[in-house]
Each structure stands twice: as structure tokens, then as C-alpha cells.
Chain A
Amino acid sequence: MNDIQGRDLEQTPLYALHRERGARMVPVAGYEMPVQYQGIIAEHLHTRENAALFDVSHMGQVILRGEDVAAALETLVPGDLQELPVGKARYTVLTNDRGGIIDDLMVTHGGDHLFVILNAACKEKDLAHFEAHIGGRCKIEVLSDRALLALQGPAAVTVLARLAPPCRHMLFMTGATLTLADVPCFVIRSGYTGEDGFEISVPAEEAERLARLLLDEPEVRLAGFGARDSLRLEAGLCLYGNDIDETTTPVEAGLSWAIGKRRRAEGGFPGAAVIARQLAEGVERKRVGLRAEGKIPARAHAPITEPDGAEGGPVIGEVTSGGYGPTVGGPVAMGYVKAGRARAGTPVSLMVRGKALAARVAKLPFVEHRYFKR
């Protein structure tokens, strides 16, 4: 995260609020973003127990419009979009010709358009990709005048229902326009913490007022990027650039569930042949959860080896995300291992500072998801 220091950093519409609430700001994908306010562990636990507000306005928000916009976007992703009902959201990935992942994204059917949320660090690359491949078939509208707030945690629905009672009836992965404090917002019941919650697309000029209203509710506290990362790691969710990138395929990453049935049969997206072969014949490596004994966290890029010896055995993979899981109460990690070593319970070693930590492959997520499905 230090590699972009020195470049001019952008600020979100909530910048003044972050400063006022004592945030420590760090560069995230070219933006100055809050890493923590009171402390990562407290913010993490508060999110699991109550409700937390995250500013994720650095993410890309794009509207795609066109006669056959779903069919057009399907030429770039393996997800079923033509079958996506109005008001439903779907997680999918942009693939390259090798089946690698250019970005992961959320697509919501907004009636006469598709609403797409992109990773901040991938925004420019994704937009150029859209322009080059589907620019002739649909109109690409970048919503640079909107902020994005995530209200996450078991109390999120109680809080948001005070402003907009109908949000109670929204199911996980559905989106709707809700009027919050007299402002029309586009709200999706989803998030990046494993908890119930909402992502709220709000006009930039109203973002601070809405954030303050939400923070006035007794259940809600601000949480920063530190907690966002430990929450998503415990929830087993991929971080683009760490756990998935242009060299990992959705099959290797354990995201085969995001490849539509019809799309498997028909193909018609970049890397379809590679992905079809992997689905049929299996993959050489898989993304898994990892739990080490003891208290030392293994971080991204720690080698994963066979479990023999203090210096570890032959290398069988690499950690892609790792750290301390406050809800788990110990170190948690994810990484890729050879497919033959991917079964939960398999003993492995994680190499940290030249020492082998005894660990086991673990089932993901580390903390059960609590989405509102019905």
C-alpha cells in the first residue's frame, strides 16, 4: 500500500467526516481512505455484533444501457445475466483469454439498465475493457458523482428500516431504489463482511448528511479498511489483487458457482475453453482456507509447504491473504495449494520468517455467513 505514496491521492465525499472522527488515513487504490478510527479489532467485532458504516466510495459505479446490454456484458463474463431478473444482483468476474480474472464485480438489473460496481484499483482498466469490447453495443455511464456507503452487521436492517421500512423485505442480493432522508438512493442488500447489510449508492452531495444520520443511530459506528479486510478474510471472500488476479481462474479460485449453467454449455466469454476444460478435468491448484496452530499470522506470499521438518518440506502453494481474525480469535489465511492437498484437514506448513508453522487446510468461510435469504 505504500507504492502509491507521492502520487496525488483522491478524496471521497466523506473525507472531512473521516478526519473529524479521528480516522487514520492511508492510500487505497489512489484514494486517501480510513484504515481505522478506534481500532481494527473493536471495529471488526462491532460489525459482527451490531452495525458498522464503511465508506467505499472509491469503488467504480457504472451504468450500462442498451437494447441487448445483458447479452453484451455476457461476452465478457461467465455469469448468467440474460436470466437475471429485474432487481436481482449477481457476483461475476471479467475474464481474459486464459480464463484469468481481470476484475470481480457486482451486476444488478436495474430495469432499463445494468448497474455495475467495480474494484477501485481496476476501474480504469475495466472501463477501457468495456469500451473496447462492448462500447458499440451499449452506453457506458460512469457515476463519478455518487458515493457508496456500506452498512454492515446484524443491526443494519433495523437501522436502515427506520429510514426506509421497505428495506426489511429485500432479500440478499437484491437491489431497489429507496428514499433515505428524502434522497433517492440505490440500495443493494449485500456486502463484503459475511454479515447481513446494505450497500448504498448515494449522490455525492448528500453522502455526508446521510452518513451522519446513520451514525446518529445508536447501533452504528464507523469502521475502516482494516476491519473491512479482516471481516472479508474471515468470511472467505476474495480480495482482487491478492486472492484472484489475471493469472487465477474462477475454477481455481473456488468461484465456479458464479459460472452460469447455460454459460458452461454455450461459452461465449473470454477463456471459455480453458474454464470448460478445468470444470471437466479439474485444476492443478485450488484456493483454500488455512488455519495455523499458535498465534503467529502468516501473511500474503508466505510459502505453503508439505508439513515435514522445521524448515518445511517441498513447496505446495502460497498464502494470498492472511492475518489475525478477531472473531476467530487467532490467525486465519487463504491461499492456493496443489489440488491433491486441498481437502479440509490436510496438514501443511506455513513458512513465516524462515520457520515452519504447523497448519491445516480449513473449510471456508471461517465465520459463517449470515445473509438474509428469506
Chain B
Amino acid sequence: MGIVRYTKEHEWIRVEDGVGVVGITKYAQEQLGDIVYVELPEVGAGMTKGAEAAVVESVKAASEIYAPVGGEVTEVNQNLADNPGTVNTDAMGEGWFFKMRIADTDEVDRLMDGVAYQEYVESLS
């Protein structure tokens, strides 16, 4: 399964063999509400940690999604074009946004693990 790490902006990244799969957390999708469109990055796009990587449009508002670590986009989840609501129903699984080749794995190590993220979310309410 690989390791999963989290950002304070509520992205997750699951790392397997130097490739990261990126999405938003269950908490993030709950906060956003019904998602109606996801604007994904171009395959091949390079981005640094914290760069704007995608935009999620909910009924209410548009929200930016940031790259949890630096790297190059290798694949995007085409299924979200027709089924953006998958992010609501399966945020941590089928609702992934894009895959990236990670430039520096040290950046992954500096993100929160599941326990730390859970504590972080609880501190917000």
C-alpha cells in the first residue's frame, strides 16, 4: 500500500516506489461539500511543493489544491471529468487527483503521518 502522508491544507500523498498519488482528505471533501468540477494539472507539468496543482469547484466556491511535494505530474484521474462526485464518495481512494514523480523524498518525510493529521483535524474544530 505504501505510506500515506498529509498536509495542513488537507491533501494526502500515498508513496509507492518513488511515485506519489495525490488527493484531498475526507475532511477536506466534507468541508467543500458537493464537488461539481475538478480542474487537473497537465501531465508532464513540473511543480514545487506548495504550488497550485488543481482547482476543486464545489456548488459554493472554487478551492485551490496544492502540490504536497515537488515533482512532475505523470498521470491525472480522467474519471473525475465525468464523475467529480467520486471525490466526495471516496476521497482517499477512487477520488485521487494525480500521480507525480517525487523530486525529493525528504519532502515526504516532513509531512504529517495519519496520527498527526488526525490530531491536527481535531484541533480545528
Chain A interface (Cβ < 8 Å from any Cβ of B)? 24, 35-36, 39-42, 44, 226, 229-230, 295-297, 299, 323-324, 326, 353
Contacts and interface: CB of A to CB of B under 8 A. Distances in A.
A297 B55 contact: no
Contacts of B31: 24
Interface string B52-78: 000101111110000000000000000
A94 to B, nearest CB: 28
Interface stretch (B2-10, B33-41, B102-110): B33-41
Contacts, number: 45
If over half of A's interface residues share one DSSP class (helix, strand or loop), that class is named, otherwise mixed; here it is: mixed
Contacts of B57: 296-297, 324
B18 to A, nearest CB: 31
Contacts of B37: 295-297, 324
A39 B33 contact: yes
B34 A353 contact: no
Nearest to B39: A296
A296 B84 CA distance: 12
Contacts of A226: 33, 59-60
B60 A41 contact: no
Of B36, B39, B62, the most chain A CB neighbours within 10 A belong to B36
Nearest to A294: B37
20 contacts: A35-B33, A39-B33, A39-B88, A40-B33, A40-B34, A41-B34, A41-B59, A226-B33, A295-B84, A296-B57, A297-B36, A297-B57, A299-B61, A299-B62, A323-B59, A324-B36, A324-B37, A324-B59, A326-B59, A353-B55
Contacts of A42: 34
For B60, B62, B88, the residue with the greatest tally of chain A CB atoms inside 10 Å of its CB is: B60
Given A40-B33, A295-B37, A297-B37, A230 B62 contact: no
A36 B61 CA distance: 14
Interface of B: 31, 33-34, 36-37, 39, 55, 57-62, 84, 88
B55 A40 contact: no
Contacts of A323: 59-60
A35 B58 CA distance: 13
A41 B32 CA distance: 12
Contacts of B33: 24, 35-36, 39-40, 226
B67 to A, nearest CB: 17
Nearest to A330: B36
A181 B104 CA distance: 67
A323 B62 CA distance: 9
A20 B68 CA distance: 36
A23 to B, nearest CB: 12
A17 to B, nearest CB: 20
B60 A40 contact: yes
A276 B62 CA distance: 40
Nearest to A230: B59
B95 to A, nearest CB: 15
A39 B34 contact: yes
A273 to B, nearest CB: 40
A297 B62 CA distance: 9
B59 A35 contact: no
Nearest to A44: B59
Contacts of B84: 295
